[in-house]
Structure formats: C-alpha cells, structure tokens
Amino acid sequence: MVNKLEQMIQEFCPNGVERVALCEVAKVSNGRDHKALSDGKIPVYGSGGVMRYANQCIYDKSSVLIPRKGSLGNIFFVNEPFWTVDTIFYTVINERKIEPKYFYYSISARHIEDLNQAGGVPSMTKAVLDKIRILLPPLPIQREIVRILDNFTELTAELTAELTARKKQYEYYRNELLTFGDDVPMVPLGEISSIGVGQSPKEIDGGQYPFINAGTTPSGYLSRYNTELDTITTPSRGQGGIGYVGYQSSKFWCGPLCYRIRSKDERITTRFLYYVMENSIMSIIGLAHMTGVPALNRKELIGFPVPLPPLAEQTRIVAILDKFDALTTDISIGLPAEIAARQKQYEYYRDKLLSFKEASA
C-alpha cells in the first residue's frame, strides 16, 4: 500500500508538498444554542460527543468538528446533517482543495489539545485554529491516504463493537449474580463501611501515586499517598462524575471531592462491595442533588442498601466478575489489548502517511 503511494507522490508531487494554513482550506464556524430545537433525528454535538437529537441542522455537508471548550482532543468527522452547540466549532471545508476525511486525519494528528489557550477549562480559539498549517498533497494522494487509514479505523471499529457487546453481556451477568432473594439481608452502606473524603494536596508533583478527585480518571500524580489500596472511590461533587464507581488496587491520594469507601465489617469484602455499587450506578445517581453543581451528600450515601450474602458466596461472585472485568477492561489481555495495539498501529501509519517532503517556497 505504501509502494503505491510512493509511486503517486513521484508522479504528482516529486518536488514536495505545499503546507497551507487551515483557513485556506476550511472556514471555522461557531455552534449555537440548541435548547429551542424540538426533538428529531439530527445529532446535536457538544465537545463530549452527541448530546441529543433535534429536528434541525446547522450544516448538512461533510465537516470536522473541533471542540472550543472542554475535551480538545475529541475531534469528530461527520458526513450527515448535524447541529453543534457553542462548545464546539464546525468547519465548512473547501472540497476543491482538500478531501474532508483527509482534513479530519490531518487535524487529528496535530494534537490540538497541546494548543490549549486557558489555564482552567481547556479552550480553543478560531484565531489559533486558522493558523494551524497542513500539508496539502494533490487530491488523488489525499484520497489514497484516506483509503488506507479508513481500513485501519474500520478494523478498530469492528473490534470496538465486539467489545461493546461483551460489556453488555458482562453487565447482564453481573446483575444476575448480584440479584438476591429475600433470604439475603440488606444493610445500609454506612453500617458496614467507612465513608470519608480526602484532602487537597499541596502540589501535584508528578510522582507515582494517582490523585483521585471528582473525575473518572486521575487528575495528576503525586509523590505521596493518603489512602491505602483496596478502596472504593466515587465522586462527591462535580459535572460528569457523580455515579461513577472506581476500585483502587494501589495506594493513591484521595482528593476533597471524592469519597473513599472500605469495608469495616468482617461480613463483607471491599471488592464485593465495589461490584455491588458498580452495579447500582443509577441508584447512586438517584441519591444525588443534580441542580446546580451535582452533589452526593454523605447522609444520603450512608443509607445505600447493600446485600449481605455469606462470605463464600461473595468470594465466588467476585472470582467470576473479576474474570469478566479483566476481559472487558484490561488493556494487557483480550480485546482491549488488541484494540490498543490496533490504535497504536493506526497512529503510526497515520503519522507516517501524513509526512511529506515540503516543497521549497
């Protein structure tokens, strides 16, 4: 596949490829508020992806969507009518100069999250985007690159779809295993576990211990820890985190916006309790106050009902669910490992295919 591309380069641009500013091949446009739209079939995109479906589109041609606020690395290629809100730009692409999908691959490879323009919530400006420079080979070469990279992404998409199906299967069996009859007593969470929050660190110094706070992923790393391993974490406040349940298998620093939960009762293990809470995310969300900044108060959390089967049954259930969990989340084995490997392969070839000798000015 690369040999064919090399032949095309020798045919169409033997003296190198021109580098142009983004504004020469696409117009960056602002999204708009969606609240007045009625429900429909048109996807409405924010910086995190599709938020809802509406009855109107803001644009109906192929476009690359680039976040203005939030997750700047979440770049989307859309080839159907869509609407974008004000946290994400859409682009009007000059298809006489650049293939929309080639434009998408080029922008994705640019890692625009590194161009963050804010110290707080990550943000991007139209002025910065307009100046991004893109290598622009002739259209036949662009189309060949798209064909090659599409093959890589299709393989990854197939694996991801299979993994999604396995996760649904896992969730089904987890729910079955954690559904008990009247013979199993229910006790409040506060009776059988310790529940508290952490503290703010003096600094995030890039050490070995993850800093777990209001989000679903570490907010950095520290050289010290304040919480032992075998601990459940769930955010107490913040957008997007309420309801998430994590299990920390190593020491970590727990922040002030995160509950740390451990069994204090010999009748239940922390790992079993983790699976019970993970299986009841919607119930945990139901305990929270969602107006303003979402918040989960301790007085509501301590009443969360927990089944208390015999320890031998807990051990059996944990062993089964640990295997399922590894197969669906562990990036060192199974489908997650294969998807990770495919993604690295795709990124390698994407960067290689998008590298050209630059034409002399």
Question: Could you report the per-residue pLDDT of 298-354, keeping only the tens digit for each?
Answer: 999 999 999 999 999 999 999 999 998 888 877 667 777 888 888 888 888 888 888
Confirm whether 219 is domain-assigned: yes
Q: What is the pLDDT of residues 74-103, one digit of tens each?
A: 899 999 999 999 989 999 999 999 999 999
Count CB-CB contacts under 10 A for residue 63. 26
| Contact present, 85 and 33 (Cβ < 8 Å) | yes
Find the mean pLDDT for residues 235-248: 86
Q: What per-residue confidence (pLDDT) applies to 157?
A: 85
- What pLDDT score does 14 carry? 87
* Of 277, 293, 308, the domain-final residue: 308
Helix (H) or strand (E) holding 292: none
Instruction: Say which CATH number the domain at 235 has.
Output: 3.90.220.20
Q: What is the DSSP string of 33-99?
A: --TTPPEEEEEEEETTEEEEEES--SB-S-EEEEESBS-TT--EEE-S-BEE-TTEEEEEE-TTT--
Which pLDDT does position 69 carry in this prediction? Answer: 84
Q: Among 266, 288, 308, which residue terminates a domain?
A: 308
289 pLDDT above the threshold of 90: no
Band of residue 358 on the pLDDT scale cut at 50, 70, 90: confident
CA Rg value for the chain: 25
202 and 303 inside one domain = yes
Residue 320: inside a domain: no
Final residue in a domain of this structure, among 262, 288, 308: 308
In a domain, 198, yes or no: yes
Q: Is residue 28 part of a domain?
A: yes
Q: How confident is the model at residue 296, as a pLDDT? A: 93
In this structure, is residue 167 part of a structural domain? no
pLDDT of residue 361: 58
pLDDT surpassing 90 at residue 206: no
For the stretch 178-205, pLDDT in tens is: 999 999 999 999 999 999 999 999 888 8
C-alpha to C-alpha distance for 186 and 143, rounded to whole angstroms:
61
Clarify whether residues 271 and 200 are in a common domain. Answer: yes
190 and 129 assigned to the same domain: no
Q: Which domain holds residue 269?
A: 185-308
Q: How confident is the model at residue 293 (pLDDT cuts 50, 70, 90)?
A: confident
pLDDT tens-digit profile of 143-171? Answer: 999 999 998 888 888 888 888 888 898 89
* pLDDT averaged over every residue in the chain: 90
Using pLDDT thresholds of 50, 70 and 90, give the confidence band for residue 119: low
What is the predicted pLDDT for the residue at 136?
Answer: 95
Distance of CA 152 to CAs 228, 340, 346, Å?
41, 12, 6
Q: Are residues 98 and 206 in the same domain?
A: no
> Using the 8-state DSSP alphabet, how is residue 293 labeled?
S
Q: Specify the number of domains making up the chain.
A: 2
Output phi, psi for 194, to 5 deg: -90, 135
- The answer to whether residue 1 scores a pLDDT higher than 60 is no
Residue 55 lies in a domain: yes
Please tell me whether residues 127 and 194 are part of one structural domain.
no
pLDDT at 240 over 80: no
The pLDDT of residue 2 is above 60: no
> Is 83 within the bounds of a domain?
yes
Same domain, 24 and 132: yes
In a domain, 276, yes or no: yes
Does one domain contain both 117 and 203? no
Query: pLDDT value at position 245?
Result: 94
* Whether residues 240 and 125 fall in one domain: no
Q: Is 302 found in the same domain as 190?
A: yes
Three-state DSSP state, 156: helix
In Å, what is the CA distance from 80 to each residue of 31, 57, 60?
A: 16, 9, 6
User: Helices 139-177 and 2-12 sit at what angle, rounded to 10 degrees?
Assistant: 150
Instruction: Please tell me whether residues 66 and 123 are part of one structural domain.
Output: yes
Query: Are 58 and 126 in a shared domain?
Result: yes
pLDDT for the residue numbered 73: 82
Better-predicted residue by pLDDT, 1 or 57: 57
Confidence (pTM): 0.62
Task: Choose between 123 and 302: higher pLDDT.
Answer: 302
User: Percent of the chain having pLDDT more than 70?
Assistant: 96
pLDDT of 215 > 90? The answer is no
